[in-house]
Structure 1
C-alpha cells in the first residue's frame, strides 16, 4: 500500500477530517471539551498513524479528541460484527461511551460486495445510535492500480450514509486529490 503523496494534500485531508469531527459539536447547546471517537476498520485506519496524528493536532485546539480503535488488517465490517479475527468491536461500542464511531469496511468490499457493506453498515449504524453515539462512515480510497473505481466506492458509502443518517467522511476523494 505504498503511495507517493503530496504532503500538503495529505495534511489538507487530515485537517478536513478533523474539521468534520469537531464541527458536529460546535453547534451543540452545551459545547463539549472532549469528544470520544472509536475507529472500527483495518489498516486504512492504522497504517498512516491516523489516530496519533489526530491526537497531536487536537492538542492545539479547544476540543480534545480521544481516539480508540478496533482494527485488524484486511478486516471487513462483517468480521467486526461477528467477532472474527479476535475483534471485539461490538463490545467496545457497547461499553465505551463514545460520541462518534467511525466505521470503515475493507477497501474492495464496496466494489465486490456492496450488499455486505450496506447490510453490516446498517447493523453497525443502528447499534451505534442505540448507544447514543453518531455513526461516521470512513469512505476509503481506490487502489493505486484502479483509480477509476473511486466513484463506485463513493456511491456505496453515500447510499449507506443517506439510508442511515450517517456522516460520510470523504477520505477517498481527499486521498485521490492528495495523489495529484
Structure 2
C-alpha cells in the first residue's frame, strides 16, 4: 500500500490483512503524495522503488494525498501513470484507493473552498480517470463514504481523516476489489 495517513490511520492495513488473509506492507507517511513514492532520493521513495524492483507483489494499492487528485490533478495523473507502469513491470496489478470528500459542512471542507458534492464529484472523476487511463482496478471508498454520509459518522474529529468505522469500511471496499 502506497499512501499516507488516510491509509495508515486506525491500522487500516492490518484490518485489510485480516479481511483478505494476505500480507499487507505499507509505505506511508502523513501528507505523502504519489510523487514521493517515485523519488528514490526520499526515504520512502527509495524503499518503494527497491520493493518494486526486488520483490514480487500481487497488488499495489495507490492513494494520493487527500485533496491531491483535485489540487494537483495533472501531477497526480502523471505520477499515477508512472507508478502503474512500474507496478505492471513487477507483475502486480495496480489498485487505486479512491478516497473521499472532506466531511460535509466541516471546517476542513470550508477552508478547501468547495461544497461536499463538488469535492466528491471531482475526487470521483480524478480517481476514475487515473484508473481507466492506466487500466487499473479501483477501490472506490470515496463513493461508499458518499453513499453512507447521511447515515453514518465516518470521520475523525478533523473532518478529513476516517474514524475507526471509516477505516474499516475502507478496508472492506479494498478487500472486495482484491478478492474478486
Q: Would you say the 8 A contact 1:128–1:135 is kept in 2?
A: yes
The residue number in structure 1 matching 2:127 is: 157
The residue number in structure 2 matching 1:130 is: 89
CA drift at 1:99:
0.4
Query: Which ranges of 4 or more aligned residues in structure 1 deviate by more than 6 Å?
Result: none
CA drift at 1:86:
1.7
CA shift in 2, pair 1:71/1:84, >3 Å: farther
TM-score, normalised to structure 2's length? 0.71
CA drift at 1:95:
2.0
Q: Report Cα offsets for 1:116-165 as digits up to 9, x if no partner.
A: 11000000000000110000001011111332201101101111111110
Q: 1:51 aligns with which of 5, 13, 23?
A: 13
Question: 1:134, 1:155 → 2: CA distance?
Answer: 21
Q: Report Cα offsets for 1:91-118 as digits up to 9, x if no partner.
A: 1122221000001111111111100110
Q: Which moved more, 1:94-103 or 1:47-56?
A: 47-56
RMSD value, Cα: 1.4
Q: Any gaps of 5 or more consecutive residues in structure 2?
A: 110-115, 151-180
Corresponding residue pairs, total: 137
For residue 49 of structure 1, give the secondary structure of its aligned residue in structure 2: helix
Q: Any gaps of 5 or more consecutive residues in structure 1?
A: 1-38, 59-63
Q: Which has the higher strand share?
A: 1
Q: 2:139 aligns with which of 160, 169, 176?
A: 169
For residue 70 of structure 2, give the secondary structure of its aligned residue in structure 1: helix
Alignment of 1:22-101 (within 5 A): 39-58=1-20, 64-83=21-40, 85-87=42-44, 88-101=47-60
CA shift in 2, pair 1:100/1:108, >3 Å: same
The residue number in structure 2 matching 1:178 is: 148
Question: 1:85, 1:75 → 2: CA distance?
Answer: 11
Q: Would you say the 8 A contact 1:72–1:85 is kept in 2?
A: no
